[in-house]
Structure 1
Amino acid sequence: MPLIRFLPTGRRLALVATLAAALIAPVAASAGPYLVFDARTGEVLAENRSFDPWYPASLTKLMTIYVTLRALSAGEVTLETPVVMTAHAAKEPPSKMGFKPGAAVSVDTALKILVVKSANDVAMALGETVGGGEAGFVARMNAEAARLGMVGTRFANPNGLPDPAQFTTARDYALLARALIRDYPGTYDLFRITGLSLGGKVIKTHNNLLERYPGADGMKTGFICSSGFNVVASASRGGRRLVAVVLGERTAKEREEHTAELLETAFSAGSGLFGGATLDRLRPTVTPPVLPADLKPQVCGRRDVGETADGAGPTAAAELPARSYLVPRFKVMDPVPIAMLAPAGGVPLAAAGAVPDALPPLPKARPRVAGAGESVDPAGAAVPLAPGGSKG
């Protein structure tokens, strides 16, 4: 491609990205938005319509978690701070824990429930606890989105329930995923949890990639009828961590298969096919639409399948790749015990003999955020808080 070097820089990068996508895109890849990138360098390895607006569904909870981690690092709350179920939070529709108003869990337990169960009631209660109310927390979510450069994102609630004013892009969620890995490396085990145990009941994750794709190590799924099946998925192999953001799959099975195929192809392709383009330098090759696509007729039709059932939904035949990169289910870890707080005084039941939660103390947020063309190694050591400070 000798003539490419005579094009202006912007057009050259766009052309290289287009050619690279044609070279490495899987044959059966979804027509919906996706983006695969290297978590350490931010290099883009595969991309399709990543600037198109989309409904985030329960991927919204990744920003809820990020805002909470920021509050923990600032000492505004601790891992033991009670998250009390308000009447407003208890009314949120499924997926939910179904706790009665007045019931409480710790911030630590709430974070785990958000990742594994994707409970809308707990997400709302956590937002109210951290933000002083839903509106205050949503304002924080949008402020963090702006700070991270998520220019195509707007949040309207902490849990991802349908709202026409809440939308994002695959590229923006790649920025958020990288920030979670970069700014809080000591808490990343949170996203690896495959199950919780509470009162003898086991709650399983909706992220089946954790137990079906070798190397998968996080992060979060999401579904509403209008968005289809979304996922942010991370996998590590040979010293590299890649992250795939996949939006708009028609079934949970298709989401898993296409995400595994994208990751496998990106691991095999190496780097450099996009001319070294990074998340910060990536630009749309075509003008994105103004409004998010609404997949409800195609995904749900006339059936009432529930708007937030991350792991459930339609059972229509998926357009699956000829080769699957998923393996038979294997065990990653035992369910993590969680506990309710005592009704009075906020004393954890763990203090009375129950097994305590296993999430390690959270580190401080890194004071410096990488700029354009820079990178921060997500494997950097966690920085403990000073004595007397927040355990966040």
Structure 2
Amino acid sequence: MKLIYQGFDGLDVTFQGILPKEILAQLAEARDQAQEAKKPVMCSLGPHGLLVEVAEMGGVGGFRYRFSTGEDGEVWFVSHSDNAKGWGIRVSVRSASFLVRTFDEVWERLYDTLGKLGAWGVSDQRLGLVAKIARADYCFDFFTEEAFLPRAELFVAHQRTKKGEMGMNSVTRGEVVESIRVGSMPGRQVALYNKSLEILAAKKLYWNDVWGMDKRPKGQVWRVEVRLGKEELDKWDARSAADFKEKAGTMFAHALQNIRYVRRISDANRSRWPLEVFWEEALSATAGAFGPAHAALKREKLLEGLRLAKMNEYLTHISGMVTALTALKQRRLEEAELTLSEISEHLAALKREDAARMDAKFSEAERRFGLLR
């Protein structure tokens, strides 16, 4: 196996502070609209017109509102509160954000967004907000041209690892293991899974650009992922950004040393089995946890991939519907072009009969896809 990428894959942060009542009022109105429409709605928040997608529901922990800043951004959770000493704001950074930004750029973007929203708190820290990291995910991607099947029995825990920290979960398709997770959150978890299958299922083909690979490589990418929850971060006193950056590499290495994937040898004592080569390489790579001073992918390239995936999704739906409608009209498949022509005429008629409604639908779609620009 060859290491082809490493980097952060997720970050959750909680802030002690609140948003202004004007922003909360906007979120309340948008949430009501989303519930009525039974789907997320677009909203421009605050004097800076921050474009977000507001969901119908909030999140666990008393967060009334939830909104997204896009696939390469974050998901924000906000409490409807005037208590500036409460932990009223939480954010979950999407994995794609770490493809187009460094860790420091991601962190700066969080505060830029909070500033645009007028967030405030009562501490002497930036914007008066205290920030605590609640979760951090870090990954190592390995490419192999050879068949690889992970085996649960080759995961070995350090002898001092508590039994409750060694919970194991496997996902299989038939007799093929696709992923193995060891440990539990909000403590510590290590995962080994087939990233190639995941990106095909989710149509996230921009990952091939990240890896520098063909669209259909002759091989597979397997990911080793370390997940640190707030309980594990508390053990290391690494909840602040400064402490986390200082200790991150050590924490990731500690996780891979305590939950490790080994190579079977004749020794009956599994604790003496050596590390599998790719696991050893991941362990060595933790020293460079914050990686190069540049992002792995240009944002324009990522957005191009996201737009293409969405276009292909619509084309698949449209193709299926046109085929079905052609059959319903008792035509041959070769006459599908006639069906398409009738659909075009139908759209033109709708535009003539209710132009305002059609324009509103088009404007709504334009705003929704504004997050892909």
Query: TM-score scaled to structure 2, two decimals?
Result: 0.23
Question: Which structure's residues are more often helix, by fraction?
Answer: 2
Q: Which of these two proteins has the greater Rg computed from alpha carbons?
A: 2
Q: Which has the higher contact order (CA 8 A, sep 6+)?
A: 1
Question: Which structure's residues are more often strand, by fraction?
Answer: 2
Query: TM-score scaled to structure 1, two decimals?
Result: 0.23
